[in-house]
Amino acid sequence: MQSWWESSGGITILDVVDILLVALIIYSLLMMVRRTAAVSLIKGVFVVMVIVAVTTWLPTFNWLLSRMLVPGIIALVVIFQPELRMALERLGRAGFLGRAFSRMSLGTEDLQSVISEVMEAVDHFAEHHIGALIVFERQTGLMEITRTGKTLNARVSSELLGAIFQPRSPLHDGAVVIRGNILVAAACVLPYSESPGLSASTGMRHRAALGIVEHTDAVCVVVSEETSGVSMAVDGALMRRLDRAQLAERLMNLFETPQEKPRLLFWRRPS
């Protein structure tokens, strides 16, 4: 009897590459949605597919489930449009096109100056228990966010940030958006994160910080009014209790030019 290997002609290098590419795509998609509500529904779809595969001896039941799969997948695409959008944006930022259209393109000295001004303001906010939300735009444009606030288009400085976030300032509610070395707008409204894994004790500022980084590639620095703790949100993750050195180092690593920074793949999160 002819073996399966002989009848199939053996496995070629192209077959191996094909399998690896499919596995890579599936793995990347799972990594993108692992912190979202999509995970539970993906598990549900997988369970339904397994049931369809093992119930071929129940024709009516199997027929019903198989007919439900296609509408269910379409419904998932509609429901999880934001997650799909974020995945496609991350894919677009992976290659040379993402680098070519990067919005945060500052020289090393200018970058250090911006981060130094922000750090001075953050230290002041933490010392005096002043809440703040500072958003750094990267490759994804934040025009929809800046439209919700007041346009400033002023050079970034610690004095300006301090004036904006003073409790009696008319602009202290909301977030500021920084593009390059320009503070584009203040009092901007950010989307709140709806991640089911968030603790009930998570404050509204931290939920807003997570919300913007879940939908875009922006970086958000948060200063808690209650605890004076400093956090940073990026790529859907929130890093709490950062000191000055840690925050400055992470910001520098995120905004280094492509020539100075090792290449990051779209499925890999910065450390």
- In this structure, the answer to whether residues 131 and 187 fall within a common structural domain is yes
Residue 232 lies in a domain: yes
Quick one: 244 and 138 in the same domain? Answer: yes
pLDDT at 198: 75
Residues 138 and 219 sit within 8 Å (Cβ to Cβ)? yes
Would you put residue 236 in left (φ > 0), alpha (ψ -120 to 50) or beta? left
Considering the domain architecture, whether residues 49 and 181 belong to the same structural domain is answered as no
Same domain, 114 and 242: yes
Could you tell me if 228 and 120 lie in one domain?
Answer: yes
Does the residue 264 lie in any domain? Answer: no
Is 192 part of a structural domain of the chain? Answer: yes
Same structural domain for residues 75 and 141? no
Question: What is the greatest pairwise CA distance in the chain?
Answer: 86
Question: Per the structure, how many domains does the chain have?
Answer: 2
Residue 185 resides in a domain: yes
Final residue in a domain of this structure, among 100, 133, 157 = 100
Is position 58 within any domain? yes
pLDDT for the residue 222: 96
- 247 part of a folded domain: yes
In a domain, 41, yes or no: yes
Print the domain residue range for 87: 4-100
The domain boundary residue, chosen from 46, 71, 100: 100
Whether residue 143 is found in the same domain as residue 89:
no
The domain that holds 147 is classified in CATH as: 3.40.1700.10
Q: What pLDDT shows up at residue 28?
A: 74
172 and 221 housed in the same domain: yes
Q: What is the pLDDT of residue 266?
A: 35
Same domain, 27 and 9: yes
CA dihedral 20, 22, 24, 29 (to 10 degrees): -170
In this structure, the answer to whether residues 134 and 236 fall within a common structural domain is yes
Asked if residue 208 is part of any domain, the answer here is yes
Contact indicator for 139, 102 with CB cutoff of 8 Å = yes
Q: What is the pLDDT of residue 52?
A: 75
- Residue 122's alpha-carbon distances to 30, 71, 81, 215, 218, in angstroms, are 35, 49, 35, 24, 18
53 and 128 share a domain? Answer: no
Mean pLDDT by 10-residue block, N- to C-terminus, for the chain (271 residues)? Answer: 52 86 81 60 74 79 78 72 62 48 59 92 94 91 90 95 93 93 95 78 88 89 93 90 91 70 41 40
Which among 100, 135, 156 is the end of a domain? 100
Asked if residue 124 and residue 84 are part of one domain, the reply reads no
Three-state SS for 157? Answer: coil
